Structure 1
Amino acid sequence: MELYEAPVWHGWYEQFGFMEAARYDGEEGPVPKPGEHLADRLINSGLLIGGTVDQVKRQVEGFLEKMPIDFFVWLYHWGMIPRDEALPMLELFGNEIMPEFGLTGSEAPVAGS
């Protein structure tokens, strides 16, 4: 996250005020706080799903408990991540996380295929 996502968040989203969505209720001052990892803030505020397979499963489960969804949008900054690192993460999500929720990769076409 810090290597590939942080430059996008700091270089793009932050410029448009998107970090305000990561602000906790009643919080003042900079977001994230000095010394706080951007990934921790984005995950804890619900703006980003990330972590180990079990952590991601719990995060997805928490979202589904709060708001059932019909579509899941995978916003992944592909241009920042080398293909040989990105594809295994996508495969892990498809093979280890989606089936936990009764989904397989056959529900939707893969872009470019």
Structure 2
Amino acid sequence: MTRSLTEAELIEAVQNLTSERLSRFLSARIVIPRQSDQGLVYERLDMARLQLACELDDQYEMEPDALSMVLSLIDQMHGLRAELREVLRAIDAQPDPVRSQLVERIGTARFRRS
């Protein structure tokens, strides 16, 4: 199990993250910390999301709500990539004639103009 981070540990670990910036990001629900006996705690995934949010904010001066939307789109993209990997594994597991037919059909559909 991964160790959770306190707010102070998180701010120390994430470059350019301040308490004020974290408050803005929390309001925009960029991360949703978990409540524990020690107060709010953050996971490693939260740390990565906040690092990316800080970088995007620094580079593009994005509003927290816009950052939240961009991160949501990135999350969706990662989910779709994971689903596509599963589809590709399923295709790869098929016998050669079926796999060839699927590859041909997918290629045709990909380049078909509607």
TM superposition score normalised by structure 2: 0.23
Structure (1 or 2) with the greater helix fraction: 2
CA radius of gyration, larger in: 2
TM-score, structure 1 as length reference? 0.23
- Structure with bigger strand share is 2
